Structure 1
Amino acid sequence: MPVYTVHAPTPGGADLRATDKFVFVRDGFHFWAMVFGPLWLLWNRLWLALIGWIVFLAAFDAGLSSLGVGRRSIVLANIIVALLMGFEASTLRRWTLSRGKWRQLDIVVADDHDTAERRFFERWSEKQRGIVNDQWAVDRGGPPPTRGVPGQPFSSPPPIPAGGIIGLFPEPGGSR
């Protein structure tokens, strides 16, 4: 199943008025980024990545040509670089968002983009009911720990110190 990261514009903008600006970035291989690298970067408005891609590819091809590498080898090397672009396209998108002062709110596992949005907003809206704008704690989808589960270190109360109880009452159940 694909994994999506959810990004919000700014810490102050992560409220109900900014939900239409949230960005879901799918992690994994992007075929169109491999086939049409510069056009994919333009489409997703990754300007610095596009400039870096053009400079790197020009320097890479010029370096291989100056070393006397054959035409077929240069084409093969460019195919490998395009394959790398397909694998790292989502990383470039997340990097660009983090440079623009966006922050990652959550990670969602879903079959497609619509399911990822639905799962994220179900969890996020539940958190918004109790605590307004507290998005610093990211819920990873697991239930909170409980005390009644055997085998967990916090299932039983901590041991009493060797010198007795520390606090206002010197012994358990003693008079006040």
Structure 2
Amino acid sequence: MSAYVIMKPPNGISADARLLRDGFSWLAFLVSPLWLLWHRLWLEALFVFLMISVFNAVGEATGHGVIGMAMSVLVSLFIGLEGQRMRLAALGRGGWRESGVIEADGETDAETRYALEAAERPDQEAPLPEIVPDNMQVRTGRTDLMLGISNHSGRY
């Protein structure tokens, strides 16, 4: 079973939510820059492309091509492991918020489970209780007692 992270859009409509599988992505590992470009992670794709190019160029220039290639594979492995988290972070920067996690066998199963759960609860969440009390309900304390280093109540 895989875990799918539910991301709700800034408008809060459950029907527009996205489900992103949390875990290793083979496609992100095999073609890291292209996978990042496909998911519109422009800066990350540029950075990964530059890192892979620099590692390979330095490895070839110093006569250690195998080490340069191994470093490039490590960068691709990192993208394979953390690529989905990069997508979640990009959505978070866009105003999307993480709403929960669903465990499912596949993407269609996760969508079905999410649709069934969304049908059971309304779109509008109940308003949160007011934490700060109204000014009329606040009791005024004694002004002559203070906590701290200095006590300026007028009496010694």
TM over 0.5: yes
Residue identity over aligned pairs, in percent, reads: 28
SS of the residue aligned with 2:19?
Answer: strand
Partner of 2:30: 35
In structure 1, give the amino acid aligned to 2:12. Answer: A
Q: What CA RMSD, in Å, does the superposition of the two structures yield over aligned residues?
A: 2.4
TM-score (norm 2): 0.71
Tell me the matched-pair count: 128
Counterpart of 1:107 in structure 2 is 101
CA positional deviation for 1:26: 0.3
Paired with 2:3 and 2:87, the residues of 1 have a C-alpha distance of: 14
* Mapping of residues 3-152 of structure 1, within 5 Å: 3-10=3-10, 13-15=11-13, 19=15, 21-61=16-56, 68=62, 70-128=64-122, 132-134=123-125
Deviation at 1:58, TM superposition (A): 4.2
CA contact (8 A) 1:6 1:25 kept: yes
Shift of 1:55: 3.7
Cα deviation 1:47-95 (Å, max 9, x = unaligned): 22212323433454566667x4601111111112111111111111101
Structure 1 residue 38: Cα displacement? 0.9
Distance verdict in 2 for CA 1:89–1:136, change over 3 Å:
farther
Match of 1:114, SS state, is helix
Unaligned runs of 5+ in 2: 129-156
User: 1:111 & 1:63 partners in 2: Cα distance?
Assistant: 43
CA shift at 1:116, angstroms? 0.6
What residue ranges of structure 1 are gaps of 5+ in the alignment?
138-176
Change (3 A) 1:64 1:101: farther
Q: Report runs of 4+ in structure 1 exceeding 2 Å deviation.
A: 54-66
TM-score (norm 1): 0.64
